[in-house]
């Protein structure tokens, strides 16, 4: 555990000296801010024009948050192991007294803590919204939605770390991670709709259904949690196997 924390801490600190992390954070928080303003304006207009009493939904904002993180997480994970492979520093880590899975877990945890910082920063929106509406927003829904965002992000990051371990080129790691994340979020839904039989499996694999129709409507189910945990394990396992195979080859 101590080794995982040492590596995670190094990676977390490293994000604060790399431009790419600032760009990802800036773009995501900027778009979220603009969307937040748009949501408030839209709700105000509906109230004034049509007399609607429906408060603005923070879940809409969180769907976009998860969507933006789908692009942001590959940018954060692409360097994690691909760069170590390229510069040779992997030799240093693989001759240090740490287990291969501790290395992968540490890398993942470092990136996860960075994203968690962003998520915590974005809590400003529900807090502000809560002050604007009466009698306040549904905090259970907000917490469920945020838990969903955290699980979606943790899965993207784990897959990104696993893919980064397979490459020595950051750009290749970025694009493959992006394709995998896009595929899971949307694309596997296409065969689910087209196939007359066997579409159920693809349907299960679509990540957005485990978010939109679950956490983002306030429904926390074990099956959805198992889905995300499975993806995290798959990503971390891929990374560990990739590092081990590097030793043997």
Partner 1 sequence: MIQVNSLIKDYGARRALHSITFDANQGEIVGFLGPNGAGKTTTMRILAGYMPPTDGTAMVAGYDVVEESLEVRKRVGYLPETVPLYTDMTALEYLKFMAELRHIPNSEDRAYESLEQVNLTDRANGFIANFSKGMRQRVGLAQALIHRPEVLILDEPTIGLDPAQVVEIRNVIREIGKDRTVLLSTHILSEAQQICDRVLIINKGSIVAEDTPENLQSRLVGSQRVVLRVRGDSDGLDATVKKVKGTRGTELKDPETVEFEFSSGQDVRPQVAKAVIQAGYELIEMRPVGMSLEEIFLELTQENSSGKKS
Which residues would be at the binding site for partner 1 (CB under 8 A)? 2-3, 6-7, 10, 14, 17-18, 87-99, 247-249
Q: Which is nearer to partner 1, 12 or 65 (CB)?
A: 12
d(C-alpha 249, C-alpha 246), whole Å: 5
Q: How far is the CB of 246 from partner 1 (least distance, A)?
A: 8
Nearer to partner 1, 55 or 246 (CB): 246
- Residue nearer to partner 1 on the CB measure, 83 or 138: 83
Minimum distance from residue 106 beta carbon to partner 1 (Å): 10
Residue closer to partner 1 by CB (options 6, 169) is 6
For the CB of residue 102, give the shortest distance to partner 1 in the complex, in Å.
10
Give min distance, CB of 160 to partner 1, in A. Answer: 20
Q: Give how far Cα 5 sits from Cα of 8, 9, 110, 155, 187, Å.
A: 5, 6, 8, 19, 35
By beta-carbon proximity to partner 1, the closer residue of 88 and 196 is 88
Closest approach of partner 1 to the CB of residue 110, in Å: 12
- Closest approach of Cβ 10 to partner 1, in Å? 6
Nearer to partner 1, 2 or 196 (CB): 2
Contacts (Cβ under 8 Å, ≥6 apart) of 10: 106, 110
3-state secondary structure the chain: CHHHHHHHHHHHHHHCCCHHHHHHHHHHHHHHHHHHHHHHHHHHHHHHHHCCCCCCCHHHHHHHHHHHHHHHHHHHHHHHHHHHHHHCHHHHHHCCCCCHHHHHHHHHHHHHHHHHHHHHHCCHHHHHHHHHCCCCCCHHHHHHHHHHHHHHHHHHHHHHHHHHHHCCCHHHHHHHHHHHHHHHHHHCHHHHHHCCCCHHHHHHHCHHHHHHCCHHHCCCCHHHHHHHHHHHHHHHHHHHHHHHHHHHC
In the complex, the smallest distance separating the C-beta of residue 13 from partner 1, rounded to whole angstroms, is 9
Comparing CB distances to partner 1, the nearer of 51 and 247 is 247
């Amino acid at each position: 555990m101590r080794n995982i924390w040492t590596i995670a801490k190094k990676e977390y600190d490293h994000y604060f000296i790399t431009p790419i992390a600032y760009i990802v954070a800036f773009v995501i928080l900027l778009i979220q801010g603009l969307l937040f303003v748009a949501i408030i304006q839209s709700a105000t207009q509906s109230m004034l024009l049509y007399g609607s009493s429906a408060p603005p939904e923070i879940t809409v904002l969180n769907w976009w948050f998860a969507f933006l993180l789908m692009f942001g997480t590959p940018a954060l994970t692409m360097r994690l192991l691909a760069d170590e492979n390229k510069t040779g520093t992997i030799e240093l880590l693989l001759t240090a007294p740490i287990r291969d899975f501790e290395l992968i877990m540490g890398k993942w945890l470092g990136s996860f803590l960075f994203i968690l910082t962003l998520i915590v920063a974005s809590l400003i929106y529900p807090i502000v919204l809560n002050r604007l509406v009466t009698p306040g927003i549904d905090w259970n829904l907000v917490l469920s939605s945020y838990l969903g965002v955290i699980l979606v992000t943790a899965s993207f990051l784990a897959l990104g770390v696993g893919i980064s371990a397979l490459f020595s080129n950051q750009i290749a790691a970025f694009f493959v991670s992006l394709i995998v994340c896009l595929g899971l979020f949307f694309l596997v839904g296409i065969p689910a709709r087209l196939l007359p039989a066997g579409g159920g499996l693809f349907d299960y694999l679509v990540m957005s259904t485990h978010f939109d129709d679950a956490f983002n409507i306030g429904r926390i189910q074990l099956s959805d949690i198992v889905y995300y945990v499975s993806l995290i394990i798959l990503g971390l396992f891929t990374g560990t196997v990739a590092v081990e195979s590097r030793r043997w080859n």
